[in-house]
Structure 1
Amino acid sequence: MENKSHNSAQRALEEKALHWHVRLHGGDATEADWLDFTSWLEAKPAHNDAYDVVALAWDDADDLPSALHIETSNENVQQGNVVAFPMDRLRKAVAAKPWAFGGGFGAAIAATLMLLVAPVYMAQNDAMDPTIYATAVGEQRIITLADGSTVTLNTDTSISVIMDKTSRRIDLQKGEAYFDVSHEKARSFTVAANSLRITDIGTRFDVRLNAESTLVSVTDGIVEVEPMAQANGGAKNKKPAVRLIEGQQAIHFSNSAEITVQPFDSTQVTTWKQGYLVFKNNDLGHVVSELNRYFSTPLSLAQTDMASLHFSGILQITDQDRALRDLTALLSLTVAKTDTGITLHQDDRVHSE
């Protein structure tokens, strides 16, 4: 009796995980759905384990119509939503022909899901050329997309946009962009950024490309982040996509498979949209590097040890002369301008005291 009760509970948990996966990736999930899903996921470790099996199997599964004999008729599919999942028949098929499902129940789950929700994922996309948007150094630009979403481009940024009947795809080619996404039932919204793919549903987030890393910062809602190789089916040891909620930031280095999640200070990430940067006890080397993103005349430090000086304050990024006045006044620095750049020096009269 105890074993029967356990099997029943496990079956219910599996079906709930399947429900969430189809709901969230079928194109009609709302922000409330994502929040409810997060609460369910965090309620018990078993919930997370069950969902991970589904998410991992989704990408690995092979076809199984011959083993399950499931027909994609109106009895099984209605407007792209799962009506009834044949869990018992699936278990029997896996037991009888394990080789057909990659040797695991999880792979069979994913293959069945693919069959049942085929109307969502198998629609034909019209071939379209991407639309390119870009900004110069020091320029910022707000782009309103055809779906009503907005993309704010930071300095020296380039994106390509493709929108078709089933998806909205953005490729952040360089720089930094802030996304305010309009919810749509029928089309997903994804951003390719360096080595990451970000999947969004009705939320706001910032993506920044650095020389060796990619940063994703969520200011509202939820996004899923995963390495591009894994998203395209190229990774051997696949892991579930990392889910970020408001106030969380993901950092991914190009030479690593790991994604680090940490809290972030929104005042230090998104204030560029208001024309200024906020620094809190940052090294001067970092401050100079950040300012150089916004101005065509580069700043440099006269002595290497100056890079370790600490700076806290607000600097304008629309006026280089004003930014220099504020920076040099707060740190007691002097400025030497040449035809090729600006060099910051320590004021010996102050620093020798």
Structure 2
Amino acid sequence: MATPPNPNELMEEAARWLAALDAGSATREDFEAWRAADSRRAVAFAQVVDAFEQIEPLRALHDPLPRPSRLNRRNMLRGGMLAGGIVLAGGTVAMQAAARDYAETAVGQRRTVVLADGTRVSLNTDTRISWRIKGTTRSLWLERGEIGLDVRAVAGPALRLSANGMRFDLEPGIFNARREPETVALLVLKGTADTGRRQVGEGALAQVIGGDLAVRPAEAAAIDRARSWRNGQLVFEGESLDFVVSEFNRYLDDKLVVADPRLSRIRLGGRFTNTDPAELLTALEASFGIHARRAESGAIMLSAG
């Protein structure tokens, strides 16, 4: 029989997750998987959040709170101090985690939100963001999907964008950011961004794969696509059918499927409405003789005539 987890260790682990979520170094998907694996974890995390909400008045009276050393934090956690020992990574960080605002879109939807500093954030399909604009803090987290950013000039620090453990400091300008499971891409359409390792200037694309950062001039097609999705369009300039299908599927509940592998490398271009594949299907049949049929599952199967 497995040994039940020590309650203090559970609280410490929950506090680590709260601090990691706040710092942008953990994904919501990983957190939900951790929490769902054991009901005691969900209880511990709720207690962590509740405790920091209760000591918010102390923060107002003594701001900033002293940041204890790792040894002191561990002793307090195990000794049951401060509402069950919830002091990991500093009280300020964890308390602020509950102060974020959120916005999201479903598959095929778009919306725009305006932050308190005037920054406009356009959310593409199936996207979720959170942010905190308070005092000198200007932080935005891209939790999934793609956003367009019109960052406004205000007194104080740059807007900090976090995604998948990567951080970008955005000066006033226009940007496009996209997060996928293993990558983060930031396109600078106007202005500059700082990765902490190097500057990213206008017309450049910064791409992070794992811990590796690459910065290069953006292709004209990538810039066109970053601008066009805000108008509900997808633009292609000679990309493979595999790529076209994967881009379209981001916007569709009923996915496109290339049923014949021989068709995958066909290249095509054009401008299409992103939530309705009818124009694409017409072009595929007229130009390449590719037929579409709907499967019982709802998927749209593409095959040679």
Which band: TM-score by shorter chain? 0.5 to 0.7
Q: Which amino acid aligns with 1:284?
A: L
Partners of 2:289 and 2:105 in 1: how far apart?
A: 34
Partner of 1:26: none
Residues 1:206 and 2:180 are matched in the alignment: no
Partner of 1:264: 219
Q: 1:251 aligns with which of 194, 199, 207?
A: 207
TM-superposed CA distance for 1:153, in Å, is 0.2
Q: Which amino acid aligns with 2:203?
A: G
- For residues 150-299 of structure 1, what are the structure 2 equivalents within 5 Å? 150-226=120-196, 241-254=197-210, 256-265=211-220, 266-299=223-256
Structure 1 residues 244 and 183: CA distance shift in structure 2, 3 A: same
- For residues 1-353 of structure 1, what are the structure 2 equivalents within 5 Å? 127=96, 129-226=99-196, 241-254=197-210, 256-265=211-220, 266-340=223-297, 341-347=299-305
Larger radius of gyration: 1
Partners of 2:284 and 2:101 in 1: how far apart?
A: 39
Q: Which amino acid aligns with 2:269?
A: S
Comparing 284-293 and 312-321, the one that deviates more: 312-321
TM-superposed CA distance for 1:302, in Å, is 1.3
Q: Which amino acid aligns with 2:212?
A: A
CA-to-aligned-CA distance 1:122-166 (integer Å, 9 cap, x gap): xx9983511110000000001111111100000000000111101
Partners of 1:328 and 1:178 in 2: how far apart?
A: 33
Q: Which amino acid aligns with 1:202?
A: P
TM-superposed CA distance for 1:225, in Å, is 2.0
Partners of 2:104 and 2:284 in 1: how far apart?
A: 29
The CA RMSD measured in Å over matched residues stands at 1.8
Structure 1 residues 285 and 135: CA distance shift in structure 2, 3 A: same
TM-superposed CA distance for 1:321, in Å, is 2.6
Are the equivalent residues in 2 in contact too, given 1:217–1:264 (CA < 8 A)? no
Q: Which amino acid aligns with 1:267?
A: D
CA-to-aligned-CA distance 1:37-96 (integer Å, 9 cap, x gap): xxxxxxxxxxxxxxxxxxxxxxxxxxxxxxxxxxxxxxxxxxxxxxxxxxxxxxxxxxxx
Partners of 2:147 and 2:160 in 1: how far apart?
A: 13
Structure 1 residues 327 and 315: CA distance shift in structure 2, 3 A: farther
TM-score, reference length from structure 2: 0.65
Work out the number of aligned pairs and report it. 209
Partners of 1:258 and 1:216 in 2: how far apart?
A: 11
Partners of 2:121 and 2:296 in 1: how far apart?
A: 35
Identical amino acids, percent of aligned pairs: 28
Q: Which amino acid aligns with 1:289?
A: S
Gaps of 5+ in 1: 1-123, 227-240, 348-353
Partners of 1:250 and 1:261 in 2: how far apart?
A: 7
Gaps of 5+ in 2: 1-91
Are the equivalent residues in 2 in contact too, given 1:165–1:187 (CA < 8 A)? no
